[in-house]
Amino acid sequence: MISSPFIPSSILLLLNVDDGDTVTDFMAQERERGITIQSAAVTFDWKGYRINLIDTPGHVDFTLEVERCLRVLDGAVAVFDASAGVEAQTLTVWRQADKHKIPRICFLNKMDKIGASFNYAVESIREKLKAKPLLLQLPIGEGKTFKGVVDVVSKEKLLWNPNSDDGKDFERKPLLEMSDPELLKEITEARNALIEQVADLDDEFADLVLGEFSENFDLLPAEKLQTAVHRVTLAQTAVPVLCGSALKNKGVQPLLDAITMYLPSPEERNYEFLQWYKGDLCALAFKVLHDKQRGPLVFLRIYSGMIKRQLAIHNINGNCTERISRLLLPFADQHVEIPSLTAGNIALTVGLKHTATGDTIVSSKSSALAACRRAEREGEKKHRQNDEAERLLLAGVEIPEPVFFCTIEPPSVAKQPDLDHALKCLQREDPSLKVKLDPDSGQTILCGMGELHIEIIHDRIKREYGLETYLGPLQVAYRETILNSVRATDTLDRTLGDRRHLVTVELEAKSLETSSLLPVIEYAASVAKDLSQASREAIENGLHSACLQGPLLGSPVQDVAITLHSLVIHPGTSTAMISACVSRCLQKALKKADKQILEPLMNLEVTVTRDYLSPVLADLAQRRGNIQEIQTRQDNKVVIGFVPLAEIMGYSTVLRTLTSGSATFALELSNYQAMNPQDQSTLLSQRSGSS
């Protein structure tokens, strides 16, 4: 039986992140900053169970790292700061875990920190996450007086040795009427409340409680309650809550016990696609790293079957066969070589040169075809579409659109191929990093999820690839749209060799009510009836390429619908010419239209002490900020609102100065919104002045 939890936070349970020596934070940037940037896997055994743990980032710039790891988990441990409760990024990660239907345990960390409040943190889980917390532990003291926890299920207290700094050194004692009358009374009430709460959520447990133990809940064995909590956790109707201090290793051992007791083993997770494989190999590549000595290292989650070294595997997404030369068991940046690994485990493979994040790995092409046939037969029985079979076989990762971009230049032209190689490797590791060429200047453009994301990439190119690159100023990824309906016609007439290429097109572009990144393309009845598939593809390629660069800033155009009213193609005209004519015609229409710039609007959450609230609010007002509400969190105020991304660049430095380093903030993309005419004309005059 194997449990696979993870921690959606920069705090790992096993070591102290405050000193920058967390086992899974092995990148130089992670140790320097005390944050997790890349997810890392650790395999270890605990009381006869194999646990595969993945430590993932908590920073919003690295949301994709969390997303791709969530796909391969059986269960999760959500780590909270007991003094802050649910924070902005907690909500994002929690929603991601909801999407992937992952059972969770909550761990209230930093209980020994000044301002820690168990009740406040539990209430924030209930209010903000809309979850039902099951209190399996209660703390003995808070802040500086935190000295132990009480196990509500078994009615035992765990007290740490006051003379030792290591939380492994603790004593477990049953609560007795003679020595702890007040505490025993409090815990008995908490246990009775827990039993009633679980009975409301689990019918089998309710029957047991009402039948045998209705007179006296004290007689209910701890094992029966634990089994019911396990069922409720798997059903995701409630979340067990434990507490401690990972920095001092306090409460970590009971948490590991809870992981093995309440989170699911791989056998208890129901993956619909597994039935098609009948025990054959099925694995998902969820992460790629580049190692200077060994080449690409691919992390695989094995769902069924077995992986061995020197095994030939088939990649469904890439439609290619590769050979695994070596098989490793991951321990952060230390790896142990092994001959084989079975279902439920996470493997690190060497030798897969073409496998990328999100690829499905099977034993052979024939195995994939057999699984597809079984899925199709089942689909026909249930009157499903056959493409559902394919959907069940393949698992991709949704990649968010980048919001920042900047130019990146090598130290010399001779080093450009080295920079291209470094960026290619980094893109394979991190699909949220986009690299493109500016068609006008020929410069390389780096597109990322935030300031920190681009800063880390720049730093990694220097450290790992030995290239001192130069970054241009960070720029916001604006978008463009149109506000009215416009028509345009265009004719392209060219003779190349002895062939004449002639296309005449008439189209209409209009604004869409709903948001759509890609243009919505429609054809007039007279055009659609004679259109070949090749011509249709050429038209759509031309329209998509025209929308990549808008007429105002050269930003992508969105929220437009295009109708093709007329298309005349001379026999023998190439598809490339059709594409070029359609693209030019749409560009002409977009230039004629009333144009609008859309700017990224960010959700902002600033946590600040009362003393500095006024200057923070005054500063946000100057940044076109829109304050939604101001909440109270312990002794702090939490300012929640929206602010345009362009106004928030370099905000961390300003906020540090305004509040003497006491405030923190979190940002997340909300949506794209229309700029007001005054701000739009200011931006356009700035751009025309700088170009």
The token duo for 333 is 């940046």
Tokens of 462: 């220097």
Give Cβ neighbours of residue 414 (< 8 Å, ≥ 6 apart).
none
* pLDDT tens, position by position, 486-504: 999 999 999 888 888 899 9
pLDDT value at residue 333: 55
Output DSSP code: residue 484: S
Q: How many CB atoms lie within 10 A of CB 291?
A: 12
432 against 68, higher pLDDT: 432
Give the pLDDT confidence score for residue 216 in this predicted structure.
80
Query: Residue 627's CB: how many other CB atoms inside 10 A?
Result: 15
The tokens for 335 are: 């790896």
Q: Are 83 and 108 in contact (CB under 8 A)?
A: no
Residue 72 contacts by C-beta under 8 Å, 6 or more apart in sequence? Answer: 4, 54, 284, 286, 301, 346
pLDDT of residue 167: 81
Question: How many angstroms separate the Cα of 393 from the Cα of each of 154, 316, 353, 386?
Answer: 44, 8, 21, 12
Please choose, from the candidates 392, 378, 100, the residue with its C-alpha nearest in 3D space to the C-alpha of residue 272.
392
Question: What pLDDT, on a 0 to 100 scale, did the predictor assign at position 580?
Answer: 93
Q: For residues 474 and 476, give the distance between their C-alpha atoms in angstroms, rounded to a whole number.
A: 7
In this prediction, residue 454 carries a pLDDT of: 87
- AA identity, residue 34: G
CB atoms within 10 A of CB 511: 15
CB 50: neighbour CB atoms within 10 A? Answer: 16
Cβ neighbour number for residue 308 with a 10 Å cutoff: 12
**Both tokens assigned to 39:** 């997810």
In angstroms, the Cα distances linking 629 to 493, 640, 644 are: 60, 5, 17
In the DSSP assignment, the letter for residue 24 is T
Flag whether pLDDT at 31 surpasses 70. Answer: no
pLDDT band at 380 (very low <50, low <70, confident <90, very high): low
Sequence-ordered list of residues with C-beta below 8 angstroms from that of 184, at least 6 positions apart, any chain: 155, 175, 176, 177
- Reported confidence tier of residue 34, pLDDT bands at 50, 70, 90: very low
Give the closest residue to 55 by CA, choosing from 46, 47, 44.
Answer: 44
pLDDT(12) > 70: no
Higher pLDDT, 154 or 688: 154
Q: What are phi and psi of 243, to 5 degrees?
A: -145, 165
Instruction: Give the burial class of 381: count Cβ atoms within 10 A of its Cβ; 0-12 exposed, 13-18 middle, 19 or more buried.
Output: exposed
- Closest among 484, 500, 481 to 492, alpha carbons compared: 500
**460-462-467-469 Cα dihedral, nearest 10 degrees:** 90
Residue-level pLDDT at 23: 37
Provide the pLDDT for residue 123: 94
Q: Which residue type occupies 535?
A: S
Which of 162, 157, 153, 187 is CA-nearest to residue 174? 157
Contact present, 39 and 66 (Cβ < 8 Å) = yes
The DSSP letter of residue 145 is G
Predicted confidence at residue 63, as pLDDT, reads: 61
DSSP 8-class letter at 131: -
Distance CA 266, CA 269 (A): 5
Distance of CA 156 to the CA centre of its chain: 38
Q: pLDDT value at position 1?
A: 32
pLDDT of residue 33: 38
Mean pLDDT, the chain, rounded, equals: 83
CB 520 within 8 A of CB 562: yes
Packed helices 181-201 and 222-235: angle between N→C axes, nearest 10 degrees: 50
Average pLDDT over residues 170-196: 90
634/345: higher pLDDT: 345
Cβ atoms 482, 597 nearer than 8 A: no
* Residue for token pair 């009510």: 513
Say whether pLDDT at 387 is over 50: no
In degrees and rounded to multiples of 5, residue 117 shows phi and psi of: -140, 110
Locate all alpha helices (DSSP H) within 335-450, ordered by sequence.
Answer: 365-381, 387-393, 416-429
What is each CA distance from 630 to 41, 253, 551, 633, in whole angstroms? Answer: 39, 38, 40, 10
Residue recorded with tokens 């660069």: 549
- The alpha carbon dihedral of 238, 244, 245, 249 has a sign of negative
For 3, the 3-state DSSP assignment is strand
pLDDT tens for 198-207 read 999 999 999 9
Tell me which residue of 23, 26, 133, 22 sits closest to 86, measured CA to CA.
133
Bridge partners (DSSP) listed for residue 605? 640, 666
How much is the average pLDDT of 436-452?
82
Asked if residues 116 and 143 have their Cβ atoms less than 8 Å apart, the reply is: yes
**pLDDT of residue 35 exceeding 80:** no
Supply the angle between the helices 222-235 and 203-212 in degrees, to the nearest 10.
160
In this prediction, residue 511 carries a pLDDT of 92
Please state whether the predicted TM-score (pTM) of the whole model is above 0.85: no
At which residue do the structure tokens 């069924």 appear? 304
Interatomic CA distance for residues 379 and 159, integer angstroms: 57
Question: In this predicted structure, what is the pLDDT of residue 397?
Answer: 57
**Beta-carbon neighbour count of residue 614 at 10 Å?**
10
Residue 61 has pLDDT above 60, yes or no: no
The closest of 343, 464, 449 to 403, measured between CA atoms, is 449
**Residue 274 banded pLDDT, cuts 50, 70, 90:** confident
Using 50, 70 and 90 to split pLDDT, how confident is the model at 26? very low
**Alpha carbons 326 and 296: distance in angstroms, whole number:** 12
pLDDT of 297 over the 60 cut? yes
Which SS3 state, helix, strand or coil, does residue 251 take? coil
* Residues 6+ away with beta carbon under 8 Å from 16: 22, 246, 247
Calculate what percentage of the chain has a pLDDT beyond 70.
88
Give 652 or 149, the one with higher predicted confidence: 149
Mean pLDDT of the 15-32 span: 36
